[in-house]
Amino acid sequence: MSQYTYESEGFILHSRRFRENSVLLDVLTQTHGRVALIARRSVAKKKSAFNPYQVFSEKLFRWRGRGELQSLQVAEQLRVFQLEKMNLVCGLYCNELLVKVTGKHLPMDSIYTVYRDTIKSLASTTTPEFPLRTFEAKLLMELGHALDFNEDCQTHHALVDATDYYYHPEAGFSAATLGNGECKVSAQELAALSAHAVDDEHFPRAAKLVYAGTIKHLLGTKTLNSRDLYRDLSKFKLSK
């Protein structure tokens, strides 16, 4: 039976050794979504100026196969984004999040663009929280979980003016308490979130609460190891 051959730009999200001479790759591609590829480790042993399985490196992939796990033929490096320290952890968080919340073989070129823009920003910024929150917001939107900042989820009318608002991942925003699992944001924080005003002083705390809560709901019982690493490094920075 003949096998199909595919080609697309992409990023390796995760890799792990498989048996003695192979590596399993989880790749986000521009035209085919996430794909699982198997590569021979002999490719990595050849003398080369780059690691063919390096994350945060956009490559031109060519692979073939028909099943869930397909065979990598070529991984040609196009550009590399250097991430360090906390920015590196943020990049790993983006990778792990995509692996946990997206399916395979589903075209998602818009998510690919969001991811590439985020990694590019993380390679040059000194404030990684801003591109990270933008990534979370856009990813939630692309996955069909965009936040509604205008309608009260309990009354189904426009949100009334209030000092504080309550948010629950399963329901949305309301001027009245929503019970267990909610978080509370001020009117200024809600306005900053709605405008995605990352430079506003009211944005960071609210974005962390609301986006993190929504993502936790999406993950269900799944956990993010990179999030724990981010917290540990943040505590270390504060203790210095």
Tokens of 135: 């990534």
- Give residue 49's pLDDT: 45
| Segment 138-191, tens digit of pLDDT | 999 999 999 999 999 999 999 999 999 999 999 999 999 998 889 999 999 999
Instruction: For residues 58-79, give the mean pLDDT.
Output: 92
Give the integer Cα–Cα distance in Å for 5 and 203.
46
Q: Where are the domains of the chain?
A: 4-142
Instruction: Report the relative pairing of strands 69-80 and 33-40 from DSSP bridges.
Output: parallel
Range of weakest confidence among 28-37, 38-47, 49-58, 163-172: 38-47
Tokens of 138: 């856009």
- Give residue 66's pLDDT: 83
To which residue do tokens 């506003």 refer?
200
Tokens of 34: 């996430």
- Give residue 44's pLDDT: 46
What pLDDT band is residue 1 in, cutting at 50, 70 and 90?
A: very low
Could you name the CATH architecture of 4-142? Beta Barrel (2.40)
To which residue do tokens 């948010």 refer?
167
CB atoms within 10 A of CB 125: 14
Tokens of 53: 């399985």
- Give residue 238's pLDDT: 43
- Give residue 237's pLDDT: 55
Give the integer Cα–Cα distance in Å for 181 and 178.
8
Q: What separation, in Å, do the N-terminal and C-terminal C-alpha atoms of the chain show?
A: 61
The residue type found at 7 is E
Residue 43, pLDDT above cutoff 60 = no
Give the integer Cα–Cα distance in Å for 8 and 30.
6
Q: What percent of the chain has pLDDT over 90?
A: 75
- Give residue 239's pLDDT: 47
